[in-house]
């Protein structure tokens, strides 16, 4: 079949913004905003809580395969994302969001009740059904809000990650101390249940942009499967070795899958993704720089802010600080608060300034903050001060990403672009995390089968993270000016 690009959505082809979505003044009601904010961060909250519970889960089930606790979540979520985005265009995003959140809740409950580690992994795989939620939320924002509100609200949604970073570690520490890992997992289920109630009550249905079009199953399987294979291969790099035949086979298979995806998308009448969209400089540059920056930031938060505080201090063996989870969370609280407040301000400021300005400033501050952390991470005061500096930049980054993606694509392409952004961020986070562990492993001491890291490894890892952020800053100098919805 000959590929014919889908027609661009224009005013005559799309329904008006649902009347219940905005007030007479054009301002969205608080219930709608809360539904969007809460639902977008369900995945982040779940990931933070689960990260704190991981060690206790491993000890309770006496398993050496605890890496699957997080890995299976990433694999299933990545595979599902292109299907969820496309189904949202066909059936309406609200319907798909409710279905995915309901499945995710079933998985959360099964995870919390799991009698064995195998059952727990099944629950985590089902819970990954709401992994595409952020992509659907950002696309929904463009569908249900007036154009002039899309950019600022998208920025605020991105900035609420700061609230998750600030609050969830404290909650996780309290739950782990008083109720164990099952208490933490039940809290994740409660967060998901609230998301379902908010979406059901406050979110209007969105336009069905692809009604009656055949579903591109092969395109979705090739795209999601290829990225999942690549994430799994990179995630096993430090375990298998980077020249292992399994590693090389998965990477080769992923590359073949990407080529197959491109060929399929150019051949079908209604592709999962118009690959020519990725060839536009505005789109490709935004997706690359945002995924590199966010992947670096997420890896730094998930690895460095957990390993250094929580690993023990053993002279000559381990240069961790040996803090408790609650103490670590409280020390990180100021940085999380700053991240949230700066992100909110940056998101709202984009109504008046070019969103590239807070983005570039955020990258510069984040690079400087990571360099400071490379040399000053040895006590509470150093971690608080350097963490606040880095968070000034991270807040601007998190707030600017959804705005840049919105400004790079049309309304019809928004869901696909957001989904691709989420998948690339997951890939870059995996790459950055593995690079960090490889660097730290070069300065580690293995004792009784456990690797303990020395200060030289921490310093080199932070410098590598700063270099990655600086690379994103350099690429961002070539970002074209975003075209915001109100300018279309």
* Tens-digit pLDDT profile for residues 43-102: 888 888 887 787 778 778 877 677 778 778 888 888 888 888 888 888 889 999 999 999
Q: Residue 326's pLDDT is what?
A: 82
Q: Residue 266's pLDDT is what?
A: 82
For residue 195, the surrounding DSSP H or E stretch is: helix 161-202
Torsions phi, psi for 228 (to 5 deg): -60, -45
Closest CA to 195 of 91, 331, 42: 42
Beta strands, E only, 191-349: 313-314, 318-319
Q: What share of the chain is helix, strand, coil (3-state, %, to 5)?
A: 75, 0, 25
Question: Does residue 452 contact residue 367 with C-beta atoms inside 8 Å?
Answer: no
What pTM was computed for the model?
Answer: 0.80
List the domains of the chain with CATH numbers: 30-203 (1.20.1250.20), 217-271 (no CATH), 278-480 (1.20.1250.20)
**Which residues of the chain are modeled with pLDDT < 50?**
1-20, 23-25
Q: Residue 17's pLDDT is what?
A: 44
CA dihedral 426, 95, 283, 72 (to 10 degrees): 10
Closest CA to 455 of 374, 370, 385, 387: 374
Q: What is the DSSP letter of 272?
A: S
Rounded Cα distance between 157 and 33, Å, is 9
Q: Which two tokens stand for residue 427?
A: 């890939």
């Amino acid at each position: 079949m000959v590929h014919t690009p889908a027609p661009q959505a224009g005013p005559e082809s799309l329904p008006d913004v649902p009347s219940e979505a905005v007030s007479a003044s054009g301002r969205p009601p608080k219930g709608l905003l809360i539904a969007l904010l809460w639902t977008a961060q369900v995945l982040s909250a779940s990931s933070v809580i689960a990260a704190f519970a991981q060690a206790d889960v491993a000890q309770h089930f006496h398993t050496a395969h605890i890496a699957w606790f997080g890995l299976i979540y990433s694999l299933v979520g990545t595979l599902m994302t292109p299907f969820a985005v496309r189904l949202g265009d066909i059936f309406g995003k609200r319907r798909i969001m409710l279905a995915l959140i309901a499945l995710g809740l079933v998985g959360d409950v099964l995870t919390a009740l799991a009698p064995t580690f195998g059952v727990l992994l099944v629950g985590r795989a089902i819970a990954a059904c709401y992994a595409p939620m952020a992509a659907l939320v950002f696309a929904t924002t463009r569908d249900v809000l007036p154009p002039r509100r899309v950019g600022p609200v998208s920025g605020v949604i991105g900035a609420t990650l700061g609230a998750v970073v600030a609050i969830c570690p404290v909650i996780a520490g309290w739950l782990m101390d008083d109720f164990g890992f099952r208490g933490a997992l039940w809290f994740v289920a409660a967060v998901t249940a609230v998301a379902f109630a908010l979406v059901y009550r406050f979110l209007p249905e969105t336009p069905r942009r692809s009604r009656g079009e055949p579903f591109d199953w092969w395109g979705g399987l090739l795209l999601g499967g290829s990225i999942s294979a690549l994430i799994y291969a990179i995630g096993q790099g430090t375990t298998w070795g980077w020249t292992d035949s399994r590693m090389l086979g998965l990477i080769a298979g992923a590359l073949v899958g990407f080529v197959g995806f491109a060929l399929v998308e150019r051949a079908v009448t209604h592709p999962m993704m118009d690959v020519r969209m990725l060839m536009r400089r505005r789109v490709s540059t935004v997706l690359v720089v945002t995924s590199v920056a966010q992947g670096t930031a997420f890896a730094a938060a998930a690895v460095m802010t957990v390993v250094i505080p929580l690993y023990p201090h053993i002279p000559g063996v381990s240069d961790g600080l040996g803090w408790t989870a609650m103490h670590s969370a409280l020390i990180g609280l100021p940085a999380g608060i700053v991240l949230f407040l700066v992100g909110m301000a940056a998101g709202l400021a984009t109504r008046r300034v070019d969103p590239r300005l807070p983005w570039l400033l955020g990258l510069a501050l984040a690079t400087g903050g990571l360099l400071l952390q490379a040399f000053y991470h040895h006590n509470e005061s150093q971690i608080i001060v350097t963490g606040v500096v880095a968070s000034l930049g991270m807040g601007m980054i998190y707030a600017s990403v959804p705005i840049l993606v919105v400004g790079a694509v049309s309304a019809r392409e928004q869901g696909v672009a957001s989904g691709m952004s989420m998948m690339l961020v997951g890939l870059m986070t995996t790459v950055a995390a593995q690079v960090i562990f490889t660097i730290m492993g070069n300065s580690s001491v293995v004792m009784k089968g456990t690797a303990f890291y020395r200060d030289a490894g921490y310093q080199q890892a932070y410098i590598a993270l700063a270099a990655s952020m600086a690379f994103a800053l350099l690429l961002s100098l070539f970002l074209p000016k975003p075209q915001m919805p109100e300018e279309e």
